Amino acid sequence: MKKTRKILSVFMAVLLLALSATPVHAVSAWELYWADSEEAARGIIMQPGSDETERNFSWYMPADTTSCHIEISTNPLMLNERSVSGEITEAYQGDKVAKVTVSDLVPGETYYYVCVTDDEKSDMYSFDTVEADSFSALYISDIHITADNEDTVKDTAFAFADLLADANSRADLNLILSAGDQATDGLRREYEGLTFSPMSRSLSFATTIGNHDRKGVDYPCFNNLPNEDDGMVSSYQGGNYWFVKGDALFLCLDSNNASGTDHYNFVKKAVQANPDIKWRVVMMHHDLYGGSIEHRESENELLRLLLAPIMDEFNIDLVLTGHSHHYSVSDVLYNGKTVSKVENGATIENAGGTIYMVSASVGRARDAEGEIPYSDRISIGMDEYTDRLYNIIDFSSDAITVTTYEVGAEDAFVSFSITKTDDYEAPQFSIFRKIFSKLVNFIGTVYAVFNNIGKYSDLKEDGYEIDFGEAIF
């Protein structure tokens, strides 16, 4: 019986990978894969390592598991495989989670791997390491896998799997950048739905914590992220982390955390550790300039005070966000002011500031009624497009090119590029702003402590048993 299931699983994986490479709405294939849910329910995910020589993996395991490892090879028949053992960590109240980091990967190679729990093997998956500095990433936000019941998990997981297949048909993707609200209530079942598509096991899947991920406690369980930095006041569910890919440094911030001091120290350390990397990209959940819901504007105002000076001081090229579900591309901004507009189709050379993007949601359209286009610092989009958009970002040493598509549409919706010449001199952050920011950051840190206490109470009220100290610091 087990052997029959194994053969079926391998067949399904091959079929789905083939479907993933073509623009299909492969609902029937997804149904078959869902039925074979022993594999899909493990929540196997591959995430970036610290750089291209590493990949991080995690998956759920039964509570009585005693060992976990990955077998990996450059040969599809798994000849000369090597075994990399993992760490066993606790899932919330019960099962275990495997966390494995595979190092010493070679650029421009295809790797095949299986995840092993005690002596039980997963299907075989594969991934590519990129050569040189050019690669393509998929940037999305607000996937909102929703576990109101099994049907909603399935519907939202299938919609996301469809979007991944559509995006993969347009580009040779190697990385997923997901700017938060992966789940609606932060539940394990939702993260299992998130990792339903086999593409979450062949593309490095970088996530950032959103306000909805913070409604439960499972976010840190399914993740295995590199260079994590909890700072002084991280939330129970996670902190900041960074990784390098090609010539880009990705700084992933927990924007639920108002501790400007933590964010400042984290970005400074990461930038100092990677001084020669050309592009600096921040990914975080909360949009600073793109919000179009009036009550969100006060939250954005506070976050702008805390975070925009960090983008200015460290010359961040691009900030990828979500939260509002309204697609937008900001002006090039520095010190809150417009340096230049971003025209559709344009190339911005030596920007002199930062572009802030909001991706629309993957499948959760906003009811536009009562919402108003808010910011006058937006160059493209805003009030109309709230779901089924995604962005392919091509990175190279020469340029970052962002191209936005609607699922299933033939033509690109928006496209623009950023370039920098070798003699580009970024704006200098003034000493006055530095002193003022330090003060604001400290106030934000005090606020974050009280915010975490409030969140701790909310989680307790929802029945979660968590440690007070871990929830606050």
Binding residues vs Fe ion (CB under 5 A):
142, 181, 210-211, 323
Strand 241-245, strand 337-340: pairing: unpaired
- From CA 145, how far away is CA 181, in angstroms rounded? 8
Give the Cα separation of 375 and 234 in Å (integer). 30
Percent helix, strand, coil in the chain, to 5, is 30, 30, 40
Q: If you search the block for the tokens 């286009």, which residue do you land on?
A: 373
CB of 291 to Fe ion, least distance (A): 10
In whole angstroms, how far apart are CA 146 and each of 140, 254, 296, 406, 445? 17, 21, 23, 22, 31
Q: Which is nearer to Fe ion, 73 or 211 (CB)?
A: 211
Q: State which amino acid sits at residue 434.
A: K
Token pair belonging to 381: 């989009």
DSSP 464: -
Which residue, 134 or 211, is less far from Fe ion as judged by CB?
Answer: 211
Q: How far is the CB of 254 from Fe ion (least distance, A)?
A: 13
- What's the min distance (Å) between Cβ of 293 and Fe ion? 11
How far is it, in rounded angstroms, from Cα 296 to Cα 374? 10
Could you tell me which of 162, 177, 152, 225 has the C-alpha nearest to residue 359? 177
Whether the Cβ atoms of residue 300 and residue 291 lie closer than 8 Å to each other:
yes
Q: State whether residue 423 is helix, strand or coil.
A: coil
The end-to-end CA distance of the chain, in Å, is 48
3-state secondary structure 252-269: ECCCCCCCHHHHHHHHHH
Smallest distance, Fe ion to C-beta of residue 140, A: 12
395 closest CA partner among 280, 287, 286: 280
Q: Output 368 or 446, the one with its CB closest to Fe ion.
A: 368
55 versus 366: smaller Cβ distance to Fe ion: 366
Strands 355-358 and 318-321: parallel
Q: Which is nearer to Fe ion, 154 or 366 (CB)?
A: 366
Q: How far apart are CA 311 and CA 451, in angstroms?
A: 23
Shortest distance, position 428 Cβ to Fe ion, whole Å: 34
Nearer to Fe ion, 186 or 210 (CB): 210
Closer CB to Fe ion, 142 or 185, in the complex: 142
182 vs 234, beta carbon nearer Fe ion: 182
CB 317 within 8 A of CB 418: yes
Closer of 323 and 420 to Fe ion (Cβ): 323
Give whichever of 370 and 469 is closer to Fe ion, judged by the CB atom. 370
Q: Which residues contact 330 (CB under 8 A, 6 or more apart)?
A: 289, 290, 342, 355, 356, 357, 375, 377, 378, 379
Residue matched to tokens 């501790």:
259
Give the residue with the Cβ less far from Fe ion, 245 or 366: 366
Sequence-separated (6 or more) residues with CB below 8 Å from residue 202: 17, 46, 125, 126, 127
Residue holding tokens 């930038």? 271
